[in-house]
Amino acid sequence: MSIRVALVDDQPLFRAGIAMVLGSQPDLEIVGEAGDGDEVLALVERTTPDVVVMDVRMPRVDGVAATAALVAALGEGAPRVLVLTTFDLDETALSAIEAGAAGFVLKSAEPELLLASVRAVAAGNQVVAAGATRALVERFRARGRGAPGPEYEALTPREREILRRTAQGLSNAEIAAAEHLAEGTVKTHVSRVLAKLGLRDRVQLVVYAYEHDLV
């Protein structure tokens, strides 16, 4: 089953290039395109993509506002958003993560990295451009909100450990190996942690962990 991808970028030539790269893969299908963030919600409702690859800086509505609008309108049904940015320490891209994006990659990235990133976010993982991880962590730490609330106390010891390892960037397979669990069991634990903490996805889980100094 192919991964359905929608593209949003205000530069037609760049958008065409991305479409060519992604469309060359048998497991990726380009289902729609748009030229600005104010077109994203209608595009998503019309084409039901699994992943939206979106420029973070656009003239009318940027990628941050467009991501926030998707999450607000569709909640759990919103597609995963992969943001494209020119700079690895782009504050706007970091804001997109806070708004609900699954990650961001540089526009200058090699095609193989873009392809891997689309597949990764479609699988529920987060992707952050190399060089930006430290800045992202420091930003969330600086915004620290103190000790976690009662929602954290509701987690079992195993769930707290899964939370910590997920926030460190480990995949389900890596957590399974470290905890001597089946990968399916880890996936179930992650889902329970998200539900108990009221979080949408692994990216928000990472933000929560760093804000509350759990890692």
CATH number at residue 200: 1.10.10.10
Indicate which CATH number applies to the domain containing 20.
3.40.50.2300
Evaluated on CA atoms 67, 100, 199, 27, the torsion sign reads positive
62 phi-psi bin (left φ>0, alpha ψ -120 to 50, beta other)? beta
**Where are any strands of DSSP class E within the chain?**
3-8, 28-34, 51-55, 80-85, 103-106, 127-128
**pLDDT value, residue 214:** 82
**pLDDT value, residue 166:** 84
Same domain, 98 and 13: yes
Alpha carbons 20 and 12: distance in angstroms, whole number: 12
Same domain, 168 and 188: yes
Give the distance from CA 141 to its chain's centroid.
19
Burial of 187 (0-12, 13-18, 19+ CB in 10 A): middle
**pLDDT value, residue 86:** 81
Angle of helix 202-211 versus helix 91-99 axis, rounded to 10: 110
The residue out of 120, 138, 156 marking a domain boundary is 138
Domain range for 173 is 144-211
**pLDDT value, residue 137:** 61
Same domain, 111 and 187: no
Q: From the CA atom positions of the chain, what is the Rg in Å?
A: 17
Residue 37 burial (CB count, 10 A): 26
The residue out of 100, 117, 138 marking a domain boundary is 138
Low-confidence residues of the chain: pLDDT under 70 = 87-90, 129-146
Same domain, 124 and 193: no
Same domain, 79 and 160: no
Query: What does the mean pLDDT of the chain come to?
Result: 86
Same domain, 53 and 131: yes
Same domain, 110 and 32: yes
- Count: domains in the chain: 2
Same domain, 83 and 184: no
Q: Where are the alpha helices (DSSP H) in 48-170?
A: 63-74, 91-99, 111-122, 133-142, 150-153, 157-167
Same domain, 73 and 92: yes
Same domain, 114 and 206: no
Q: Is the distance from CB of 125 to CB of 171 less than 8 angstroms? A: yes
Alpha carbons 53 and 138: distance in angstroms, whole number: 26
Same domain, 183 and 110: no
Same domain, 45 and 122: yes
The residue out of 138, 153, 185 marking a domain boundary is 138
Q: Which of 61, 60, 135 is nearest to 104 (CA)?
A: 135
